[in-house]
Amino acid sequence: MRDFTTTYFTMVEADALDYVKTRLSFFPDDAELTCKEIGDGNLNYVFRIIDTKTGKSLIVKQAGPVARISDEFKLSPDRNRIESEILSLQHKLAPGFVPMMFHYDPIMNCCAMEDLSDHEIMRTALLQYKKFPLFADHITTFLVNTLLLTSDVVMDHKEKKELVKQFINPELCEITEDLVFTEPFIDHPRNDVFEATKEFIQENIWGDPELALETAKLKLEFMTNAQSLLHGDLHTGSIFIKEDSTKIIDPEFAFYGPIGYDVGNVIANLIFAYVHARATIDDEAKKVDYMSYLEDTIVDTIDLYKDKFMVAWDEKALDPVASYPGFKEYYIGKVLDNTAAVTGLELCRRIIGIAHVKDITSIQDQDKRAAAEKICLSVGKMLILEREWVKTGEDYVKVIREFEQLF
């Protein structure tokens, strides 16, 4: 058995099993444990350990020194500390919406947490056309509780600044700065463009100086506006879901940034599911039904978010300036501008950049995939350029409808 107490190394299944037996007291001594590596993300190793006698189970997540997607990305395994600490904090701010943390190990850069195998990854579920009527309500509670409640309008300012320090996350932020804000909007060697969409991208994205300028402003906003403690990578692959429960996982990109970054990521990834359904459901009635479910979810997520934010502001915003007439409306207005822009950025970067989404890459018909990509890019561009005019759920639906007619 290898030594887990002195030097970090990346574990394989047998190591994770030994780790759980020797370093944790989660299972009884007579447990019959099996271990499987189940990670399918871009960065980490995820082991599920099950006691076959009782069915009791646990997840061990370890941060590797390089990203799984490409060893070009060398990353400090300290992101596992960030993930462990923010999950503990979010558990207090938004009880029931994150997995329970049991253990963090700063030598092995791993943590142990609740196994959510009775849930499924939301992206996978949406690609199977499943519906989750409670999602918009759940995610908006999570967003308001984790974002507004970690902002300066609610928190003691010195305590907030301590959190800013605790969650400084330069390497993961750099990935976002590069992969979301920079590379997709220039002809960068790391981009990975679908051949049938390339000309469209050259003309409409890389060839547009006005768009480039707006992405520069948004990048600086992302880097300098320490507004709230973000999840930082809130796509549908970071959400475990079942009919009556939503759990937000994988907050390793957490840092203090602009609120719209989390909300916009949720909306963009609902739009990916929407264009996937449009391209892949043959039965017309089923297609209309599923797409309108996703439209409703987009509308409800924006509108409920705004409503709950306003209510929470009235109850919890303690800074004296929070009650000045018009300030709440100004603040939420800025958050909604940024939300629209980030929705647009995420829509473009998942099509053009290195990190794609299955919603798009799994569309087998090449013409339909190209059409889906052009809708995402057109909607994305419009949301970036016209962000100040996109304030309600219905505004998003109008933009989507406008462009889906064209492709």
Contacts with ligand SR1 by CB under 6 A: the residue count is: 11
**Using the rule CB under 6 A, which residue among 19, 27, 47, 73 binds ligand SR1?**
73
**Using the rule CB under 6 A, which residue among 10, 42, 76, 225 binds ligand SR1?**
42
User: 3-class secondary structure for 257-284?
Assistant: ECCHHHHHHHHHHHHHHHHHHHHHCCCH
Question: Closest CB to ligand SR1 among 115 and 233?
Answer: 233
Residue 45 binding ligand SR1, by CB under 6 A: no
**Using the rule CB under 6 A, which residue among 196, 322, 355, 385 binds ligand SR1?**
355
**Using the rule CB under 6 A, which residue among 15, 115, 233, 404 binds ligand SR1?**
233
Question: Closest CB to ligand SR1 among 27 and 261?
Answer: 261
Residue 299 binding ligand SR1, by CB under 6 A: no
Distance of closest approach, residue 349 Cβ to ligand SR1, in angstroms: 8
State the residue number with the nearest CB to Mg ion.
250
HSE, side-chain direction, 13 A CA sphere, residue 330: 8
| H or E segment to which residue 102 belongs | strand 101-105
Contact between 200 and 207 (Cβ < 8 Å)? no
Question: Closest CB to Mg ion among 41 and 258?
Answer: 41
Distance of closest approach, residue 3 Cβ to ligand SR1, in angstroms: 30
Distance of closest approach, residue 259 Cβ to Mg ion, in angstroms: 20
Contact between 114 and 59 (Cβ < 8 Å)? yes
- Reading the block at residue 406, the tokens are 């064209």
The sheet that has 245-248: what strands, in order across it?
120-121, 239-242, 245-248
Residue identified by tokens 């394989």 is 12
Residue identified by tokens 């984790």 is 146
Residue 196 binding ligand SR1, by CB under 6 A: no
Q: Which stretch binds ligand SR1 (CB under 6 A): 106-114, 172-180, 222-230, 267-275?
A: 172-180
Provide the binding-site residues for Mg ion, judged by CB under 5 A.
Answer: 41, 250
Q: Which does 260 bind (CB under 5 to 8 A by kind): Mg ion, ligand SR1, none?
A: none
Report angle CA 372, 134, 381 to the nearest 5 degrees: 30
CB atoms within 10 A of CB 281: 16
Q: Cα 190 to chain center, whole Å?
A: 21
C-alpha span between 51 and 27 (Å, rounded): 8
Region 359-388 residues binding ligand SR1, contact defined as CB under 6 A: none
Angle between helices 209-224 and 366-385 (to 10 degrees): 70
Distance of closest approach, residue 41 Cβ to Mg ion, in angstroms: 4
CB atoms within 10 A of CB 307: 12
**Phi–psi pair at 239, nearest 5 degrees:** -130, 125
Q: Which stretch binds ligand SR1 (CB under 6 A): 46-54, 124-132, 171-179, 377-385?
A: 171-179
Bridge-based pairing state of the strands 44-51 and 101-105: unpaired
Q: Which does 73 bind (CB under 5 to 8 A by kind): ligand SR1, Mg ion, none?
A: ligand SR1
Q: Which does 204 bind (CB under 5 to 8 A by kind): Mg ion, ligand SR1, none?
A: none
Spell out the long-range contacts of 385-390 with Cβ–Cβ below 8 A and sequence spacing 24 or more.
Answer: 385/210, 385/211, 385/214, 386/340, 387/337, 387/338, 387/340, 387/341, 387/344, 388/337, 390/336, 390/337, 390/340
Question: Closest CB to Mg ion among 249 and 371?
Answer: 249
Distance of closest approach, residue 43 Cβ to ligand SR1, in angstroms: 6
DSSP state of 119: S
Distance of closest approach, residue 70 Cβ to ligand SR1, in angstroms: 7
Question: Closest CB to Mg ion among 41 and 344?
Answer: 41
Question: Closest CB to ligand SR1 among 184 and 393?
Answer: 184
**Using the rule CB under 6 A, which residue among 24, 69, 223, 385 binds ligand SR1?**
69
CB atoms within 10 A of CB 244: 9
- Reading the block at residue 116, the tokens are 């959510």
CB atoms within 10 A of CB 182: 17
Distance of closest approach, residue 201 Cβ to Mg ion, in angstroms: 25
Q: Which does 24 bind (CB under 5 to 8 A by kind): ligand SR1, Mg ion, none?
A: none
Residue 281 binding ligand SR1, by CB under 6 A: no
Distance of closest approach, residue 180 Cβ to ligand SR1, in angstroms: 6
What residues make contact with ligand SR1 under the rule CB under 6 A?
A: 41-43, 67, 69, 73, 175-176, 179, 233, 355
